Amino acid sequence: MKLDDARSQKPEGAERSPLLTVPEFASYLKVSRPTVYRLFSAGDVTPLKIGGRTLVRRQDADDYIARRAEVALGEVAR
């Protein structure tokens, strides 16, 4: 393995970290960073502040997605 390849690899389990940074959360939802901050402001998702970093629990991200799916399915059923 080349040195560059080793540096670019994430630590094992990094993909399933229980906490997401704002860019990771935006990528996870496939939305922009400003949209993430709008979700915070609206109270749709509660951010955590840890050591000056803004993080989102992966479970909160999954819960938000589930809530949005329920709303979407309810609107389709009408």
Full set of structural domains in the chain with CATH? 15-77 (1.10.1660)
From CA 30, how far away is CA 28, in angstroms rounded? Answer: 6
Mean pLDDT, residues 22-34: 97
Which neighbouring-strand residues pair with 54? 49
Tell me the mean pLDDT in the region 9-24: 75
Residue 28: the pLDDT is: 96
Residue 73 pLDDT: 83
* pLDDT of 61 strictly over 50: yes
Instruction: Give yes or no for residue 11 having a pLDDT over 50.
Output: no
**pTM of the full structure:** 0.73
Number of residues that this document lists for the chain: 78
DSSP assigned state of 70: H
Q: What percent of the chain has pLDDT over 90?
A: 67
